[in-house]
Amino acid sequence: LLMEPQRTNISIWSENMANGWTANGSSLTANFTTSPNGLLNASKLTIGDITNGYIYQQNITTVVSTAYILSVYIKSATGSNVNGSIYAINSANSQSFTATNTWQRVSVTGIASATLSSFYIGGFGSLSLGEDLYVWGAQIEAGAYPTSYIPTTTASVTRNVDVANKGGISSLFGQTEGTIFYDMYIPQPSGLGTQPFASMTNDAGTLFYTAYVNNTLSFDMYIGGTYTFALTTATGLTAGRNKVALVYKAG
């Protein structure tokens, strides 16, 4: 399961970037080629000014001291590798990329220093004219890592937190003792604060409640529906795959 937090794509016209992004020393042509979703809706970015050619979205509302990440799918329009950069938070943060003949998603993160920020795709100083790009799927979201793509048109779009439920599995859990095992992939464990992760309930109420607490995993245990005690992992979670087991026994 791909379980993701709530996120909002504040980049408008994420698929028709020719409509939502402003070109400087360059041009955007809408619906030029097939995008990663299989539709003819990716834009062509033609660079007319190698030194100052770029596209941008400006005056994006941001919260000061909050991390924002720009991600976009790019592809070479000529079959030759094309080098460029993307920029977050008024060019304060950049990430270089090499576009090939295969779609790839590139991203860059920055910390907002004002309530209005700009995001750019450019940095083509090493190009030759005619080495153009295809672009699609722009996403600007508050967070330290990019989540799965959220399409937008005229306004921002929010994807709610993912929730999965499974009932009818009481036979799998011992009433007096057992082990609960978590095998999970975490893209970015730090900076999450406290986030609910998983819980188990029966007719009497909650049995276990698990949450991220900063960089650890906390298990809250309930007996007869009443909170009894909590256990917290001794070491922090790491970016990537984590395995955690909780063993319980009566008494």
Is 35 exposed, middle or buried (CB count within 10 Å of its CB: 0-12, 13-18, 19+)?
buried
How high is the pLDDT of residue 11? 95
How high is the pLDDT of residue 190? 64
How high is the pLDDT of residue 203? 72
User: Is residue 126's pLDDT more than 90?
Assistant: no
How high is the pLDDT of residue 249? 82
Q: Do the Cβ atoms of 162 and 3 come closer than 8 Å?
A: yes
* pTM summary value: 0.79
Greater confidence (155 vs 195) lies with 155
Please state, rounded to an integer, the average pLDDT across all residues of the chain.
Answer: 87
| Stretch among 41-45, 139-143, 144-148, 201-205 having the lowest mean pLDDT | 201-205
* pLDDT band with cut points at 50, 70 and 90 for residue 61: very high
Edge-first strand order for the sheet with 226-232 is 194-202, 205-213, 216-223, 226-232
Could you read off the pLDDT of 16-53 as tens digits, one per residue? 999 999 999 889 999 999 999 999 999 999 988 877 88
- List C-alpha distances in Å: 156 to 6, 36, 143: 13, 21, 15
How high is the pLDDT of residue 33? 96
Of the CA atoms within 13 Å of residue 28, those in its CB half-sphere come to: 23
How many angstroms separate the CA atoms of 222 and 224, rounded? 6
How many angstroms separate the CA atoms of 211 and 1, rounded? 17
Could you read off the pLDDT of 201-227 as tens digits, one per residue? 877 777 778 887 777 888 888 877 788
Is 157 exposed, middle or buried (CB count within 10 Å of its CB: 0-12, 13-18, 19+)?
middle
